[in-house]
Structure 1
């Protein structure tokens, strides 16, 4: 299928070609990452050169969290597979339409097993423009349709090289990339800001309710570093309990005592829709995606409910993915909803995050996949701090959650705006001056 059939007619002076031809003309190429025989699981190390795998390819960016790494010696041995700034990395199997632009700080990383590397070359199209073009819905659909394999789509260099490509004049390429990149830069800034805010909140929860740092400081005669009124809420000694040493006066209980907990139940399949009828419906971890997700599947006959600000926990395959309900919603059998009895959103979310090791123990439970049932969830033991301290945590750090939520909402709006502009810019329906004016109106 020619590019014209994919994106429609384009302005005079724009060129129709293929991705492979553009790479060849620019002095680049399309290359598969190393095969498994060249790099084994035992070769990965905790500290070293990052190796980009399909799971590290996000929305036009490389996701570094949990990335595998190799030694400098292996990087030298596999030097032909190292990526450079401006390369584009594709997932070779599975979600084959996903790709990411290699940015400055990722220069020299490895295009890992399971990936393809596209190098447009010094004389080729602008890589930023190319990644946006490859994100066009019709282009993504073309890649999926031409991939081999019904159950597990697979790409190769031939398929990707044959992908139709539209190439505007260089100035227009750069202008389009700038318009769309401005939106992506703001989304990335919000993501990094939220990452920092999340780290702050988690560290404070760990300090107060897990490591008991203020209590430890007072017991050792040190200043806990808190305002006096807040410091007075912490005791100055410890006592023994069945969970080990805990602050004096605190208790030991279980999740069922401290939290309102609702286990999900899935309604009949015919009650689901994507028309917005009924309540948003969350079935499991695949519906999460962010701290405050927004769902596109709805249910007209829900049986179990979560309220806005409840923490949602995946209780099946895998157990323990966590987020927060941004709206009243329905929950299926793969989800539980929890809220501390004080009503503290922040404490509930951080408490559930802190149960990572506990939830991991249920990964092998169940006949087919990991799961945790109501009885086991209710009976998870926990330290019980005074409720006035939980309320104080919410008062002081609830604003962090609110800032994260605002940033996520803004990023979703920016992503929708980008996705609206992208097809129009790629085919020339909307030229850059008009797009700039449209962008100014929409972001005022």
Structure 2
């Protein structure tokens, strides 16, 4: 059974108060300071500013709630004490209502809260509005049970997100070592130039690839001879000399083809014409990806996706119909966001701010090109070629001209065997995260109304 209460009956609200600029630093002196959602992540903020004269503070496990401007309503959890500026409120449960339950109540009523918020252009949520805002709740005892389920789902999502971040970091570290710093090649060169033998050079490359000492390699040889032999075969594929190229010195025998030469198609989307949208007789069911939907960590936010009618998708916008494993690269507004089209977004579409790359050999080159597009070299190159206008933009020619660092086929195959499972697991976990979030969103109204009981 549910009933209505003012929000102040289930939560304590601490409105932020900003310190003066003179008392803000980035050297880590004092308490971490939050003024808005700039430092927010999926769960906990990453502070960049500090203050020794904080006026209002959050406590660990509080909700950090944005109360001003276009980001009003965004939330994170406070993982430590923060000094909070005027753009943030710290909210915690009271009267027996757990904080995760209170956050769920806010989330469920957020649209209604934003409508009630004041502001000429963007909403501003003040203390009085929050305190007097009427919400439908269940008993504290029921709220505890509901909170347990909400926390379990949120913790599982966060655990998977952290695993995904680790997998991405591993893939990027391997890419940098092999295709940017050329570590295995340089290890071989260093040993040979010091008068070492070919065998010693190979062992040095194996040590670099596996991040193991010579003693650990000897142990691996005894305990897992097959793994040792596989490592030795991989190390042997790296050359022991460098050559000149357009990108400077690269390993001998490697090449730097353009992305265009490796692609079946490089194109971009189009924004549907308003008359076409108005006159379309069929429903808007085709996902339409924009830059805003692509996150910095390469995820495509399904919740925010707009949709277009299939009639427009198949006719006016047929040149930009996306297929699984197409690569996306944002070329207008926020430039340089990269993602891979998953199976559930096969046959989706995109607008002119997003370029898509369809590789000739997706199986062989997908991970290599994906990580290349995310590399600092490519991000810097594209940024340097951006044309500033009403909106900053890069051209499709810029994308096609990107050089891809390519080893021979045998080494590319060895790379694929190592990195493909990492990226595959990352994409599988991303799908699981979406399913868990959908499950949480689906049960949330029933939990809040008391229709579904937690345990």
Q: Is the counterpart of residue 377 in structure 1 residue 383 in structure 2?
A: no
**1:101–1:131 Cα contact (<8 Å) kept:** no
Deviating more after overlay: 44-53 vs 189-198: 44-53
Distance 1:48 1:331 in 2: 46
CA RMSD, aligned part only? 2.8
Counterpart in the other structure of 1:320: 336
Q: SS at the partner of 2:266? A: strand
Between the aligned partners of 2:41 and 2:133, the Cα distance in structure 1 is 20
Deviation per CA, 1:259-302: give whole Å up to 9, x if none.
Answer: 444221315335569x87564322x3212246453445245232
Instruction: Check whether the contact 2:187–2:205 (CA below 8 A) recurs between aligned residues.
Output: yes
User: Do the aligned partners of 1:88 and 1:119 also contact (CA within 8 Å) in 2?
Assistant: yes
Contact 2:446 2:452 in 1 (8 A): yes
Cα distance change, pair 211–58 in 1 and its aligned pair in 2 (3 A): closer
1:305 paired with 2:278, answer no
Counterparts of 1:49 and 1:385, CA distance in 2: 49
How many residues are matched? 399
Residue aligning to 1:409: 431
CA gap 1:391/1:108 in 2 versus in 1, 3 angstroms? same
Higher helix proportion: 2
- 1:86 is matched with which residue? 61
Q: How has the CA–CA distance of structure 1 residues 431 and 384 changed in structure 2, closer, same or farther, with 3 Å as cutoff?
A: closer
- 2:294 corresponds to 1:288: yes
Q: What is the CA distance between 1:41 and its match in structure 2?
A: 10
1:268 and 2:272 correspond: yes
Paired residues for 1:139-150 under 5 Å: 139-150=109-120
- Which of 218, 221, 224 aligns to 2:205? It is 224
Which residue in 1 is equivalent to 2:448? 426
Alignment of 1:133-144 (within 5 A): 133-136=105-108, 139-144=109-114
Alignment partner, residue 55 of structure 1 = 38
1:114 corresponds in structure 2 to 87
Residue 25 of structure 2 corresponds to 43
Does the C-alpha gap of structure 1 residues 324 and 150 become closer, same or farther in structure 2, counting only changes over 3 Å?
A: farther
Q: How does 1:17-416 map to 2 (within 5 A)?
A: 17-23=5-11, 28-34=12-18, 38-39=20-21, 43-45=25-27, 49-52=31-34, 53-57=36-40, 61-64=43-46, 67-70=47-50, 74=51, 76-78=52-54, 80-92=55-67, 93-102=69-78, 106-120=79-93, 123=95, 125-136=97-108, 139-221=109-191, 222=201, 223-225=204-206, 226=209, 227-270=231-274, 279-282=286-289, 284-289=290-295, 291-293=298-300, 294=302, 295-300=305-310, 301=313, 302=317, 303-326=319-342, 327-343=346-362, 344-354=365-375, 355-363=378-386, 365-416=387-438
Corresponding residue for residue 439 of structure 1: none
Tell me how far 1:148 sits from its aligned partner: 1.6
CA deviations over 1:316-356 (Å, ceiling 9, x no partner): 11110111101243232111122554422211210100122
CA drift of 1:199 comes to 0.4
* Aligned-partner Cα distance in 1 for 2:433–2:403: 37
Q: Say if 1:399 and 1:298 are closer, same or farther in 2 by CA, change over 3 A.
A: farther
217-226 vs 415-424, which moves further: 217-226
Give the Cα separation in 2 of the matches to 1:232 and 1:184: 46
Distance in 2, matches of 1:375 and 1:40, equals 47
Instruction: Label 1:259 to 1:304 Cα distance change in 2 as closer, same or farther (>3 A).
Output: same
Pick closer, same or farther for the CA change 1:431–1:88 going to 2, 3 Å. Answer: same
Hey, what's the Cα distance between the residues in 1 that align with 2:408 and 2:427? 27
Residue 310 of structure 1 contacts residue 337 of structure 1 at CA under 8 Å; is this kept in 2? yes
Change (3 A) 1:388 1:315: farther
CA distance in structure 1 between the aligned counterparts of 2:10 and 2:262, rounded to whole angstroms: 61
| Secondary structure in structure 2 of the residue aligned to 1:224 | helix
Q: CA deviation at 1:166?
A: 4.0
C-alpha separation between the residues in 2 aligned to 1:206 and 1:47? 34
Inter-CA distance 48–194: structure 2 relative to 1 (3 Å threshold): farther
- TM-aligned CA distance change 1:376 to 1:230, over 3 Å: same
Distance 2:257 2:13 in 1: 61
Structure 1 unaligned segments of length 5 or more: list them. 1-10, 437-444
TM-score after normalising by structure 2: 0.79
Q: Is the 8 A contact 1:238 1:246 kept in 2?
A: yes
Aligned-residue offset at 1:48: 7.4
- Structure 1 residues 232-241 or 262-271, which shifts more? 262-271
In 2, the alpha carbon distance for the partners of 1:259 and 1:18 equals 59
Structure 2 CA distance for aligned equivalents of residues 46 and 338 of structure 1: 42
Relative to 1, partners in 2 of residues 1:374 and 1:424: Cα closer, same or farther, differing over 3 Å? same
Shift of 1:22: 4.2
Give the structure 1 partner of residue 220 of structure 2. Answer: none
Instruction: Tell me the residue number matched to 1:4.
Output: none
Q: Compared with structure 1, are the counterparts of its residues 279 and 48 closer, same or farther at alpha carbon in structure 2 (3 Å cutoff)?
A: farther
